[in-house]
Chain A
Amino acid sequence: MATVFLRKYLGDACHGVVQKRCKIDPVSYNVGNGLKTDLFVHPDTKVWSVMVDFLDTDNKPDNIILKRAGCDKELGVKILDFWSEVLTNLPSSWEKCSVFERSGVQSLFRNDAQRQPPRAADTSAPSKIAMSVSTTAELQALLDAHTGDSGYVMQSRYCEVNGSCWVPCINARQKYQCPTSGDTHTSNNAYLVFSKGHVWYQCHTEKCAGEKWKVGLGEIPVSFMELSGIAVYSTDAEQYAKKVTRMLSRELLLQGHPRSAVDVLDVLSDTIAILASGDVTAEQKTIIFATFNEWIASSDLLLDNTLFTDIDASIATARETQKKDAADNAFNSLHCRRMANPLLVFRYVIVHKTDESVHGVLKNTDTALTDCRLVLYARKMWPNAKHEVFTFICLKYPENAPCNEEKFEDVWQIGTARMPLRQDTFEPLHYHCPFFRCIHSKHTASDYAVPDFFIFPKR
């Protein structure tokens, strides 16, 4: 950070005191490499970066133990919060900003060829999708488990093109040990790729060419499968059923309440189409239809029970007659319905914000546009986080009946349709997803991505 800038914005007094006590290192930006942040485990001391919150009285230095098993997740979340804040709170004058002409200023680009205007979208170009902190850490752990001190660090984004995914690795130090050959390399040519349900390390350096340059690191983490949808169409029927169960139940849980009988039948039809894409297990059916029934019960609609009989036959018929892409289309249909009528509305939809922990989702929920039926979602997703959810409800919806601990307990235990709410919160919530607000901003689509919740499986 430029000294003059620090001094100007912090003031001479503060800058002077800071400078007296330490060295303010220049942190220069390198095109392509970005800024060195030291957010990982230190290569020499093996100490993970750890957050020091000087405002938090519980976070005193005496309470911060240096020896850590992994990254400081809270720090990761804070960093993501920070950048989300930066990107979502651009000044209004940003829209009027014209492109900065750099005449007379030494270009940071090597030549003009590298300054070509953006080209039209190229479907063959890889898209970069951010991973959550925990997913990145899981992949890092797989590599570390194989080669403890490789020196490689996972990037927090994975690339995808035509259904194939890979995660670039960078070297955290000047030399690093290649898990493939054991050789020491000095360039960045490593990737994690995903196939046959496993994560593979690949080295593309010249040194390793011709060698067996692929090393299996273990099974693909569930969190990555969910993010990428990579294993949904696995040939492993059991895995497929589990995956579909989780994604479909979550999709149903996030649906806004039913609007009409036709609406209910549409959702049922989509549910059947998705289930018919694989072998249905008893557990899967129980979970899905319990969730479905709970969703129906969240409205005051009086529905004829005969509509829901003989589900098995309906699934069997669909399996025989429906087109190959029926499950994809059904997921898409459910997704679109939720976009128009969601149970939860998120404040930030930049993928960096994605954090599926109870803390992350509650914090990211726009409580002005989401009624406290989010308890119905929370109880399914985080059954052990009752106290945290109750505290959140009391804080954000103080006038609602579920703030009564006894009634909240009822809702938590049985997911009752008669969830006690203020009458006005029963009004249908018609709003557009904030995602659409974002894509109207100056950023390109690749700057934003939908959270995990909005991602449905791909082939």
Chain B
Amino acid sequence: MPSSFHVLPVAYHELEENAQLMRYVGIADLDFDSKTVKSSDFKALVIEAVGNGATLGKLCELSPEFASVMEAARILCKRLVEMGFVPVCWFTGEKGFRIPSCYL
């Protein structure tokens, strides 16, 4: 499984003025804010939940912050579908989701 996506090393904001962007492939990283919930606390929660055989749904019940992130991921995916894309979303094993997509 690829660990990294290698792309043209030109960031969107670095394109010259009036440059035409033909295709952009990006990856959205959605996490909850570590200021509201400590990352270490949430990791501990995940480890405990996993040990108890929890599902992703159960994790949402245990953490409203995480549930909020998942809802954001769902909304983003829905929007991408409306735009004609087929988004792939994955839970990263900790506090967030990744969603790559491409834009023409």
B4→A34 contact, CB < 8 A: yes
In the complex, A406 has a CB within 8 A of chain B: no
B88→A79 contact, CB < 8 A: yes
Q: Which residues from chain B contact A6 at a C-beta distance below 8 Å?
A: 28
* Distance (whole angstroms) from the CB of A204 to the closest CB of chain B: 19
A62 to B96, CA, bound (A): 17
Interface residues of A in 18-40 (CB under 8 A from B): 18, 21-29, 31, 33-40
Interface residues of B in 42-78 (CB under 8 A from A): 43, 46-47, 49-51, 53-60, 68-78
Contact of B22 among A17, A25, A71, A91 (CB under 8 A): A91
A8 to B97, CA, bound (A): 21
The winner among A28, A62, A106 for most chain B CB atoms within 10 A is: A62
A34 to B3, CA, bound (A): 9
The winner among A9, A46, A61, A133 for most chain B CB atoms within 10 A is: A61
B24, closest chain A residue (CB): A5
A54→B74 contact, CB < 8 A: yes
B76→A1 contact, CB < 8 A: no
* Distance (whole angstroms) from the CB of B76 to the closest CB of chain A: 5
Q: Mark B1-39, 1 if CB is under 8 A from A, else 0.
A: 111111101111111100100111111111111000000
A133→B5 contact, CB < 8 A: no
B3→A22 contact, CB < 8 A: no
* Distance (whole angstroms) from the CB of B92 to the closest CB of chain A: 4
Of A93-101, A230-238, A300-308, A355-363, the segment with at least 4 beta carbons within 8 Å of chain B is A93-101
Q: Mark A183-206, 1 if CB is under 8 A from B, else 0.
A: 000000000000000000000000
B→A interface (CB under 8 Å): 1-7, 9-16, 19, 22-33, 43, 46-47, 49-51, 53-60, 68-81, 83, 86, 88-94, 96-98, 100, 102-104
Q: Identify 20 new A-B residue pairs, CB closer than 8 A, beyond the known A17-B75, A40-B3.
A: A5-B26, A10-B80, A10-B83, A21-B75, A22-B31, A23-B33, A24-B28, A34-B3, A34-B7, A39-B98, A42-B93, A54-B74, A61-B56, A64-B55, A66-B50, A66-B54, A79-B1, A85-B86, A90-B23, A156-B3
